[in-house]
Structure 1
Amino acid sequence: MDTLVRMDHEPDTLIEYFYKWEQLKPDNVFLKQPVGDNFIDYTWAEAGRQARIMATYLNSLGLPPKSNIGLVSKNCAHWIIADLAILISGHVSVPFYPTLTGPQLRQVLEHSECRVLFIGKLDGWDAVKMSVPAGIQKIAFPAYIPTAPPVDTDAVQWGDILNTNKPLSGNPLPEKEDLFTIIYTSGTTGNPKGVMITYDAVTAVMGKTQEQMRYDVIEARFFSYLPLCHIAERNVVEATGIGMGGTIYFAESLDTFARNLAVARPTHFLAVPRIWTKFQLGILAKIPQSKLDTLMKIPVVSSLIKRKIRQGLGLNDARLIITGAAPMPISLIQWFRRLGIIIQEAYGMTENLGAVSMMPADKLKDGTVGRVNEGMEIRTDPQTGEVQTKSRWNMLGYYREPELTAATIREGWLYTGDVGEVDREGFLRITGRVKEMYKSPKGEYIAPSQIEFGFADNNHIEQVCVTGQQLPQPIALIVLSETARQTDRQTVAQGLQQTLDALNERVHNYERVRKLIVMKEPWTVENDLMTPTMKMKRNVIDARYGTRYEPWFGREEVIVWED
């Protein structure tokens, strides 16, 4: 039903927030797409015009109402515009990771039953596009550089659609209980699952977290670079950006990331722990820790150093700095805090919109993932300690997976798979994953992630995986940082040994790590050892290296360098 947006109440759906700003400030910049040293600006009115024309085209295809429409692209302005077009046309947005291989993309396209696929900025699309099932209508984003070739010559081109269609009039509104999106999980274990999320779930989270998300900031700016198909980026950047009427900047490429971030100067910034580790290593490459410690003891110099580092990162205007998607070592959070960068950890999963808890800015409690959000109920299993959640924003279920849904949601409670506890002040502590914990040969439970935190202070270590379920004691697989790779092996080995000795003094006997294995190959998305959200795939690591664990364990030396 077409209707004007009423301004006397808070919008009920995300698309209604967009209509609100489209009407109130049509000429303000909504999206800023970098191209070299310049930007292509898209105002609220222009983004709306293109989204409405695309909605007209989607409706001309004769699709059944509420059809699933796919979207595969790196983050860019037209990712957001295409998402809006899908919503305006009354269909369901189904975004996919831009790093998927051909077989992986085919699997989720077939499982999601997508009728249409938007295609944008991608690497190696020519090798992937043959996997798109026949019968799916492809629509290619425009190239931001005029001389660049089309994204996909076989697809209908975005520019041609704009030139031959008129904008959809009015403001079509969905019902709150309608399906807003299907988000496929990153697949840390097995095939990705399609999480079904309603419009009501999204606006419920937005309404309950406005204070934490700093809706009071004027002229809010966001920087989008983590995959927009992930729940954290979708919430913190897209939904909050649209909810606040803010401006969203994008990263053009990995090479321009730092420059793009410095120009954007976001007021709201989200980064996963791996990004914070890279920021730390970059700072220490310019100012060694010993020199930094000395300078930080001098009051006036300390203030200058803090400001220079924040400006260098592009975070001098940041009013909300969030980390999530994976556990972040306490020592790393405290390291940045000493530089005046207050990182607030948030916790959740796709199945509950990533909105279980968040660290309050005015009451930091290290060792927890923040205070449980208003509107979120939590209980823990008395036997396993598994965290279970109940809220308006729990998922409807997994698309076309009734058995998996029944195993995950029981009597309204979502079984997260995380182990944790809530303290008297309502702060949540996560201590491991139910499926990651294993019994040692002697029968004691070992939580790898808690042991891994013991390696966080060693700047020679970029990635670590504690494993060895069938071994007498755990072992740790280590990926060295760039700094360590440029340092002589003996110095690195001494530092690793000191870290290991300190760790083993703090843990139970059965948790003591017997061997450190220094890996030759980093774990990346490309070699399938990391998810697109930079979480390591333990099961894939074990499958790839498991046959070597016992020989490594039997070596005489404590630190083993992979052959």
Structure 2
Amino acid sequence: MNVAFLLGIASPFSGRQLNNNTTGNEKIILKKQVLLSNGCCNIVYRVTPTNCKLAKDQWKAAEKNEKTFQANSNEWSDKELLPKHPNGNGLYHLLTNKFKPTKEKWTQDGKKRQETLLNLFFDNVQGLNGVQNRVALAKRSRDGTWYKWTWKQYGELVVKTANGLLALGFTYGDHVTILSANCPEWLFADLATMCLGGSTAGIYPNDVAEQIVFINQNFDAKFFFVDSLKQLVRLKPFLNQLTKLIYIIVLSLETDNQEERDMVETDSRIISYARLLELGKTYSERSPNYVEENARKITPDTFCMTVYTSGTTGQPKGACYSHQNIYCVGTTIAEELNCQGRDILLSFLPLCHVAERIQSLFLAIAGKCSVYFAESIQRVREELPQVRPTIFMCVPRVWEKLYQALQAEFETTTGMKRHLLHQTLLFGRLARLHRNYGKSISRAAMFEWLILSLLVVRKIRVTIGLDRCHTFASGAAPLSEEVAMFFGDLGMDVRQVYGQSESTGIIAYSPKRAIRPGNTGKVPSVIQVKLGDNNEILCKGPNVFLGYYKDPGASKTALDEDGYLHTGDVGMFDEEGFLWVTDRLKDLIKTAGGKFVAPQKIENRLKMYPGISHVVVIGDRRPYCVALITLDESQLKNICTKAQIIVQPVEEVVKNRKVLQLVDSYVQQVNDGLASYEQIKYYKLLPEDFTIEREEMTPTLKIRRKQIEQRYKEWIDSMYSVASSGSS
């Protein structure tokens, strides 16, 4: 058979020699279409020699003959030819519309290569991407210097950890939990588990003991990594409930506390991470390459990770991911950012949250990036100038803190310095509109902006540690338009990333040079998004999670029969295809008058005023909206200066008449831009800010509305029981 027919359309290669190694008389056993960028189609052939008698059930025999036919090659290769009739191929594309632009990858032994992060990881480790000896991880040591691991060392420690788990009895499909602050060992344990066909779940270091126990029990964990004995002491009354745990691996056994020492002696399940590595080294002698070989065989549909939601509305649920999920997210972002193995990331958000997992694991592996670990989220501003990341991804609260700090510093300037800052923001706005909206700008204005960039903007970026950063991103919650525009006017366009745990953290993101403050950007080609009832955003694609662990009811609610994830977010598409998220369905306030109010919009506007830390708008089934407001203690001096009072403790400041008048003016300015039913009628200044420790905020600094409303119920009720001054 030397003529190929596909869907009744003759191949443009029919009856001619396929390439220099063929005669034109071979039998075609496989035809594959590859769509080119110009809209034409390449027909890719696999052939057998003319003497091969091929039956339908003899594919393996055919493949064997093909390999013999290509005796001069160690790897199977597709025979691709440029189309003979481009226009004809374009017509073929229009008629069939079934081409995929991807091309299957094959290993040297003729097996299909699995598209997983584990394969990419070991490619980096083995030097296949030229990064084997580059820095992969870095952590500050006790003397203040950075201790660094290359990709080769990274891989060796992952393999040792995996072999150590095997020595302790780990079997395929086992579950591992990790309770630790961000550190390299966190990633070693995470990847080691995945290499063995297991799955991991991270636990927030500041979670209460009951929640830690719940996650371990719910996840059926057999191995539990803990960063210190101090954490175990907190769990001491509950350890006997964790009957499924086989071993508790403590990253550091160093302690001066006798109670902590006694725990190691009384609980035989506790071993040190150093001991685990020793066991791994010994165990690896049996089969040195087993871990890597096993990891490379794992299929994309294998369950590998669970991220427990931070629980803004109650008990956390475990969102389960496959290797396909994390590979899709990692490679999509790495391609979008054009990572070439030279980028530096700063890890400071909790690794048990999907946002940090994207940065420190998915993107770091797919983009061959170096990850530097910050001491804590509180020390980010001190760490930034030392690490000087090239990609900076964080939550809106961090951007808001930077914004408030810079605004406070700008307000103290005078004379020529103040004039230069004003001019910088003015011409910076023109440049931002030119970059992202295509607005025209004169050569003189552009030249002015370039000069101001060198004189002013560069100094600002050096001061905050973002002088060599080329990508700025914000995710996990909406970033206010004012903050985004401010940094954009300084030449730092902050790209909004929209997603949730159930979508492996990604649904849409701002495309380069089309960064529009207020929207979430565009949906990448591998993901499908549509609007459902009440304009709810629905998502489908390789990023959508497998479901909730041991919770089929919640999984059925989240995923419909067509595979679409119901995000619970209200949104819309504009004429240019940008996705706008207006609010969360569950957060929407319906007043007693039947009007719907989006609280986040109001809260974000009010938080932009100097000294305001957090705002919670309340009004569901109430006659009007009220708010709880907290002050930023780090900006207390500036608040007192603005109110023209002496610096006092925050408990006294919130009672001061002049401070209340100042906040009154802020609220009034926000109300002027709102519909009457959206306006804040009364508010309360709280004597303390919301904290993670009191469970008023999630570890990613999002407010927990339900807990706050319960805690301050009397304060809220008082604003509805009296109709007096709004600043009481």
Relative to the length of structure 2, the TM-score reads 0.72
Contact 1:329 1:456 (C-alpha < 8 Å) held by counterparts? no
1:62 matches 2:187: no
Cα contact 2:167–2:279 (8 A) shared by 1 = no
Q: Find the aligned partners of 2:370 and 2:228 in 1 and give their Cα distance.
A: 20
Secondary structure of the 2:233 match is: helix
Change over 3 Å in CA distance of 1:165–1:375 after alignment to 2:
closer
Is the CA contact 1:332–1:457 (under 8 Å) kept in the aligned structure 2? yes
Deviation string 1:267-308 (CA, Å, 9 cap, x unpaired) is 111110111111123333433276575332456566433212
Q: Does 1:429 align with 2:580?
A: yes
SS in 2 for 1:416: strand
Match for 1:400: what amino acid?
K
Q: 1:121-132 to 2 correspondence within 5 Å?
A: 125-132=232-239
Q: Secondary structure at the match of 2:672?
A: helix
CA distance in 2, matches of 1:257, 1:420: 32
SS in 2 for 1:403: helix
Pick aligned residue for 1:222 from 328, 339, 345 = 345
1:556 and 2:724 equivalent?
Answer: yes
Distance 1:289 1:549 in 2: 37
Shift of 1:484: 4.8
Structure-1 residue corresponding to 2:17: none
Gaps spanning 5+ residues in structure 2: where? 1-105, 424-447, 646-655
Aligned match of 2:202 in 83, 95, 99?
95
Cα distance in 1 for partners of 2:608, 2:673 equals 14
Taking structure 1 as reference, are residues 403 and 254 closer, same or farther at Cα in structure 2, changes over 3 Å only?
Answer: closer
After superposition, the Cα gap between the structure-2 partners of 1:12 and 1:342, relative to the gap in structure 1 and judged at 3 Å, is: same
Q: By how many angstroms is 1:491 displaced?
A: 4.7
SS at match of 1:558: coil
Contact 1:421–1:430, Cα closer than 8 Å, also in 2: yes
User: Is the 1:93–1:180 contact (alpha carbons within 8 Å) kept by the matching residues of 2?
Assistant: yes
Structure 1: distance between partners of 2:580 and 2:412 = 30
Contact 2:354–2:501 (Cα < 8 Å) also in 1: yes
Aligned-pair CA distance for 1:546:
2.1
Give the Å deviation of 1:558: 1.4
2:267 is the counterpart of 1:160 = no
Q: 1:375 to 1:550 in 2, by over 3 A?
A: same
**DSSP-derived class of the 2:176 partner:** strand
Counterpart-to-counterpart distance in 1, 2:166 and 2:307? 23
CA shift for structure 1 position 409? 0.5
* Residue in structure 1 matching 2:632, options 455, 459, 481: 481
Alignment of 1:39 with 2:149, yes or no, is no
User: Which amino acid counterpart does residue 591 of structure 2 have in structure 1?
Assistant: S
Distance 1:158 1:316, change over 3 A: same
- 1:113 aligns with 220
Alignment partner of 1:186 is 2:306: no
Q: Which moved more, 1:29-38 or 1:98-107?
A: 29-38
**Structure 1 range deviating more: 57-66 or 252-261:** 252-261
Distance in 2 (CA, whole Å) between partners of 1:248 and 1:209 is 16
Paired AA for residue 626 in structure 2: I
Aligned equivalents of 1:332 and 1:179: distance in 2?
A: 39
The one-letter amino acid paired with 1:141 is L
Decide whether aligned partners of structure 1 residues 289 and 453 sit closer, same or farther in structure 2, where only a CA change above 3 A counts.
farther
The aligned runs of 1:196-235 (5 Å cut-off) are: 196-216=320-340, 218-235=341-358
Q: Show the counterpart of 2:160.
A: 53
- Conserved? CA contact 1:32–1:42, under 8 Å: yes
Cα distance in 2 between the residues matched to 1:513 and 1:165: 61
Please, which of 219, 241, 245 is the counterpart of residue 364 of structure 2? Answer: 241
**Match in the other structure for 1:398:** 548
Structure with greater contact order relative to length (CA < 8 Å, sep ≥ 6): 1
Q: 2:421 matched to which residue of 1?
A: 296
Tell me, yes or no, if the aligned pair for 2:330 and 2:363 is still in contact at 8 Å: yes
1:230-269 deviations in whole A, cap 9, x for unaligned?
1111112311111122211001245653333222211111
Question: Which AA in structure 2 matches 1:497?
Answer: D
Is the 8 Å Cα contact of residues 114 and 300 (structure 2) preserved in structure 1?
Answer: no
In structure 1, give the amino acid aligned to 2:573: V
Cα pair 1:295 1:302 within 8 Å, conserved: no
Structure 1 residues 332 and 10: alpha-carbon distance in aligned structure 2, compared to 1, 3 A threshold: farther
In structure 1, C-alpha distance between the alignment counterparts of 2:196 and 2:257, rounded to whole Å: 29
> Which deviates the most, 273-282 or 119-128?
119-128
- What SS does structure 2 have at the residue aligned with 1:331? helix
**What's the C-alpha RMSD, in Å, of the aligned pairs?**
2.6
> What's the CA shift for 1:42?
1.5
Q: Do the aligned partners of residues 188 and 254 (structure 1) sit closer, same or farther apart at CA in structure 2, a change above 3 Å counting?
A: closer
Q: Deviations over 1:126-173 (max 9, x none)?
A: 223543424421001147x99999998452111122234324524123
* Bigger share in helix: 2
- Residue 410 of structure 2 is matched in structure 1 by 287
* Greater Cα radius of gyration, structure 1 or 2: 2
Deviates more, 1:509-518 or 1:530-539: 509-518
Residue number in structure 2 paired with 1:28: 134
Residues 125, 152 of structure 2: 8 Å contact kept: yes
Question: Is the Cα–Cα contact under 8 Å of residues 508 and 524 in structure 2 kept in the other structure?
Answer: yes
Quote the offset at 1:379 in angstroms.
Answer: 1.5
- Corresponding position of 1:547: 714
Q: Which runs of 5+ in 1 are unaligned?
A: none
In the TM superposition, residue 369 of structure 1 has moved relative to its aligned partner by 0.9
Shift of 1:557: 1.9
Please say if 1:471 is aligned against 2:622.
yes
**For the residues of structure 1 that align with 2:515 and 2:471, how far apart are their CA atoms?**
14
Displacement after TM superposition at 1:57 (Å):
1.9
AA aligned to 2:210 is P
> Map of 1:329-408 to 2, 5 A cutoff?
329-382=480-533, 384-408=534-558
Which residue does the alignment assign to 2:250?
140
Distance 2:602 2:152 in 1: 51
Deviation at 1:85, TM superposition (A): 1.2
Provide closer, same or farther for how the CA distance between residues 263 and 485 of structure 1 changes in structure 2, counting only shifts above 3 A.
closer
- Contact 1:277/1:462 (<8 A) preserved: no
- Aligned-residue offset at 1:74: 0.7
Out of 281-290 and 362-371, give the one that drifted further. 281-290
Confirm or deny: 8 A CA contact 2:410 2:421 kept in the other structure: no
1:454–1:282 CA distance, 2 compared to 1 (3 A): closer
